[in-house]
Chains A and B, each alone.
Chain A
Amino acid sequence: MKWKTKDGGWSPYLAGALVGLLAIASVYATTQWMGKSNYLGASTTFVRAAGLLERTVVPDRVAANEYFTKEKVRVDWQFTLVLGIFLGALVSSTMDKSYKLESVPPIWENRFGPSIGKRAVAAFLGGIVAMVGARMADGCPSGHGLSGMMQLSVSSFVALAMFFSIGVLVATLVYGRRSL
């Protein structure tokens, strides 16, 4: 098995196994220093970000919203974790020169052409649907896919099966056979 990929990255088996170790270390560290076992996740941060943004315009509405109250609108552990993902990816891609400014993803361009506007509208609408779904299912591929599976949570097996089966179906419909 090769530890490096053709494009200078690491084997996904190696990088993934290291994320497994990071996940264990992170649960241990949060239990020790925060008094509660916290697991890797990302999607609740989007709720807090929405709350923080809305608060600048309609503070009363945010204060009165049941869901924002439940999830607590603040910059917490997971929020800085998500910001850290940006920095980590920036550092890694700069180091191995894989950083690349890209306006439209290649698969998308093959199927729908180079229009940024078209891509923007689709990604925005896809984002809305995906996030409503992630909050309803109470997790995304990080919270359910990694953290939930590691804990052998029943809901995560079901959620991941749904993510992928519907993902495969919709991707096949949207990108068809011409895409790769």
Chain B
Amino acid sequence: MSTDQILGLITGILFGFLLQKGRVLRFEKQVGAMLLKDMTIFKFMLSAILVGMVGIALLTDAGIITLSHKPMNLGAVLLGGALFGAGWAVMGFCPGTSIGALGEGRWHAVFAITGMVAGAALYAELFPFFKSTVLVWKDFGKIGLPETLGVSPWVIIPFFWAGTMSLFFWFEKKGL
């Protein structure tokens, strides 16, 4: 195994361990969030984002890491995001959690995983068509919110923290 593969494997094991401990791998948790009855995955994701965004902004400021934005390709993000949302609701898993769900014994995740591999193969076949249509509709490039708004990330991060913490208090108050 190469260094890359070993590093990926260790990171993945820790990631899978935490996903399982947070109980976010399950179909019930994912669909429960989409039915607005169980906010576990929101709590989990937003907590990760709150911590991660501070560390990433610090390391970027220090010049230690570089950001890697995904393109703000409006048509593709809107349509792709909608297709993903629809498939996710039926499947009850996202790509990462489907693999984790298999690890905790929910073997039916294998149907979702097979479907996603088939979907990836289909996308590869359709790519030339998408490339000349939805992928070129309105591409704003790889942009971040700070430069788009013309402010430092340190202006946005406190607002994000405040908004998210209020949401957390609301979840707890409502028992969601």
| Chains A and B bind each other | yes
> Measuring CB to CB, which residues of chain A are less than 8 angstroms from any residue of chain B?
1, 5, 7, 9-24, 26-31, 33-34, 36-40, 42-43, 45-47, 49-51, 53-54, 65-68, 75-93, 96, 98-108, 116, 119-172, 174-175, 179-180
With both chains docked as a complex, state the minimum distance between the C-beta of B64 and any C-beta of chain A, in angstroms.
7
Residues of B within 8 A of A16 (CB): 18, 22, 43-48, 51
* A-B residue pairs in contact (CB < 8 Å), sample of 28: A12-B22, A12-B23, A12-B43, A16-B48, A17-B48, A19-B18, A19-B44, A20-B51, A23-B51, A38-B68, A53-B117, A84-B11, A88-B18, A89-B102, A102-B107, A126-B89, A127-B112, A132-B87, A134-B84, A141-B96, A142-B96, A147-B52, A148-B69, A155-B69, A159-B77, A159-B80, A159-B81, A174-B89
A66 to chain B, nearest CB (A): 6
Q: How many residues of B contact A (CB 8 A)?
A: 127
B23:A9 contact, CB within 8 angstroms: yes
Tell whether, in the assembled complex, residue A171 and residue B47 are in contact, meaning their CB atoms are under 8 Å apart: no
- Cα distance, A12 to B24, chains bound together (Å): 8
Cβ-defined partner of A129 (8 Å) among B86, B98, B156: B86
Closest A residue to B53 using CB positions? A150
Contact of A77 among B5, B56, B96, B120 (CB under 8 A): B5
Interface pair A89/B81, CB less than 8 Å apart: no
Contact A123 B111 (CB under 8 A): yes
- The minimal Cβ–Cβ distance linking A134 to chain B, given in whole angstroms, is 5
Among B6, B95, B127, B140, chain A packs the most CB atoms within 10 A around the CB of B95
Partner of A19, one of B12, B48, B72, B80: B48
Partner of B100, one of A27, A39, A86: A86
B residues apposed to A, CB below 8 Å: 1, 3-28, 31-37, 40-41, 43-53, 55-56, 59, 64-74, 76-92, 94-109, 111-128, 130-131, 134-135, 140, 142-146, 148, 153, 156, 168, 172
**A177–B96 CA distance with the chains assembled, in angstroms:** 28
Which listed residue, A47, A151, A162, touches B82 by the CB 8 Å rule? A162
New A-B contacts (6) at CB < 8 Å, excluding given A88-B15, A153-B67: A67-B124, A87-B13, A149-B49, A150-B53, A155-B72, A162-B84
Question: What is the bound-complex CA distance between A51 and B25, given in angstroms?
Answer: 26
Complex CA gap A108/B130 in Å reads: 33
